Amino acid sequence: MRATADHAKRAYFHPTAARAAAPSRMFGCVRTVCNLALAALAEAWAWQERVNYSATSVIAVDRFFPSSRVVLLRAAARRRRRHRAA
């Protein structure tokens, strides 16, 4: 029987350029949508309106995506909600 090692082993990996760029692209998109949502909240606060989470996300998506994509995204969200409810 082998004794357990008392030190950690090091593992290195070197991603390709495309794999290294993918996370920064994703976080860039997330940061943009988050900033749009914060702007929507600040605008609503200036008008003294209450805006909940779902309304904020709809506003942010409306500002980020062209209108044709928004229709597709909303339809997909409705399908997911119906699927979860069933």
Residue 12 forms part of a structural domain: no
pLDDT of residue 5: 61
Residue 9 forms part of a structural domain: no
pLDDT of residue 61: 74
Distance between CA atoms of residues 4 and 21, nearest Å: 38
pLDDT of residue 41: 84
pLDDT digits (tens, 9 = 90+) for 22-80: 888 888 878 887 888 888 888 888 888 887 877 777 777 777 776 666 666 677 777 77
Residue 70 forms part of a structural domain: yes
Residue 37 forms part of a structural domain: yes
pLDDT of residue 79: 77
Residue 7 forms part of a structural domain: no
Domain that holds residue 61: 20-85
Q: Is the dihedral of CA 49, 74, 65, 37 positive or negative?
A: positive
Residue 56 forms part of a structural domain: yes
Q: What is the pTM of this model?
A: 0.49
Give the chain's domain count: 1
Residue 33 forms part of a structural domain: yes
Residue 6 forms part of a structural domain: no
